[in-house]
Amino acid sequence: MYRIFPGRDNVLFADQERLAILRDILISLGGARKREPGSAFEVPNQPIGPSMTILPLFNTFFPAVPGHWGGWEFPTYPVIARIEFTNKEQTKALVSITIGYGGTDVLMEKGTESGWRKAWRAVFG
């Protein structure tokens, strides 16, 4: 899915399909080797090998990092998990987002000329 954000020339919308393609490229070109943790307190499943040499190229265009529990992450924060309109006119919406390992619910209101703006947020994690 491709979306244009008016007035935001440097925004890239990446859906799950496109993120999966990026992961597949890393694995196809660089393999899926993982290092063994040296102790019980080290983060497991961290990649090693050629895939790590591809990462700097990806990072020139967008953030790409090894995932905490293995795999790859392309931080496209905030991740919008749900949008629920709260009135019939669809001028207010409750938007659930995550940033990293935490998230929040944000009530958004549609203004007359300024577009959508944050009305309040409630942290949930």
> Which pTM value belongs to this model?
0.59
Q: pLDDT by residue (tens digit) across 78-110?
A: 888 889 999 999 999 999 988 877 888 888 888
Q: Is the peptide bond before 63 cis (omega within 30 degrees of 0)?
A: no
Q: Taking the domains of the chain in order of start, what are their residue ranges?
A: 16-73, 79-123
The arithmetic mean of pLDDT across residues 61-75, rounded, is 80
